[in-house]
Structure 1
């Protein structure tokens, strides 16, 4: 059920006054990667890696299980900003459109295992009434996954540009995936980059980094 007009106004005010800093680094420095729905035959991606990248289940639950319940979400930054070109294209927006951006670490056993970046168009978000600002350390992916009002679209993967990562985990050629969650006019694009500490914990060897 959509929120009323009063809730929309409250949400707009709430999101405009975010308490977490906006993205502190420039994400437009790197060339836009090619997001592909399936790995190329020449990519030689091993089966265990593919199992993580294309798993249709809840990533939060899988990380919780792998970490023996030592899982948590650490917010890094969030706020209104100009979305990247690849994000605008995935959301069906004009280049340079503004949206809400939320970046977090998904931690297992106190180590950053996944860097997640979620974005949504400003107009659609305010109309829908989804309050992203109040999530705090809760998992947005789990919220979207559990809400039957959202439909998850196809998973796409790429080698994520290091310039798009926080400096403390920046590394070339890390595998990432993204998928779009749709509810009416609202689309939330969630991208998840799998960090070296995750592959180490899962005993999956990665050639790069």
Structure 2
């Protein structure tokens, strides 16, 4: 029997937050607009890496189509990775871009391998970052080793001309344990 399709979460911008959040959680979800890769590298004292999980052309989820301004059921490039600190998954990241805009742009998402997409986006000044949104990410959308309810995620849209890349980052329990030890 196939797994039930999770209800799409309400992605909330900082001004639509329903409840007060722990200040540390708020900082990581909403206040840090710089490169998460750089911040994770600092937190891991340089022991940071990217572990690709899956990538390819596939139908985008409804919330992704809406955020990218695409018709429901549109196809796009999907890249899923773990961002590792000290060889432990700290963040699950899912990046998506609409097929037609990505092909027309010539932007090469298909050959990143273990390189960080965030570093690429932040090093190209032509990309503009949209507002940060956060939600509690559905466990059914996570890869097997990270299945857990109630994990906080954030996402933002990076735009360059007609190309938009939506990047979602889900903060995993080992990440929060490290943050709390560093505090």
Indicate the TM-score class for this superposition, using the shorter chain for normalisation: over 0.9
1:89 aligned counterpart, secondary structure = helix
1:202 aligns with 2:183: no
User: Of 70, 85, 104, which residue of structure 2 is paired with 1:108?
Assistant: 85
User: Of 7, 10, 25, which residue of structure 2 is paired with 1:49?
Assistant: 25
More strand per residue: 1 or 2?
2
Q: For 2:18 and 2:160, how far apart are their aligned partners in 1? A: 36
Q: For 1:126 and 1:134, how far apart are their aligned partners in 2? A: 14
Residues 175 and 27 of structure 1, relative CA distance in 2, 3 Å threshold: farther
Match in the other structure for 2:170: 193
Match in the other structure for 1:129: 106
Q: Which is higher, the Rg of structure 1 or of structure 2?
A: 1
Normalising by the residue count of structure 2, what TM-score does the alignment of the two structures yield?
0.94
Q: Which runs of 4+ in 1 moved over 4 A?
A: 39-42
- The Cα RMSD (Å) is 1.6
- The correspondence of residues 1-209 of structure 1 with structure 2, limited to 5 A, is 29-38=5-14, 42-54=18-30, 55-203=32-180
Check conservation: 1:39, 1:45, Cα contact below 8 A.
no
1:43 aligned counterpart, secondary structure = coil
Unaligned runs of 5+ in 1: 1-25, 205-209
Residues 31 and 58 of structure 1, relative CA distance in 2, 3 Å threshold: same
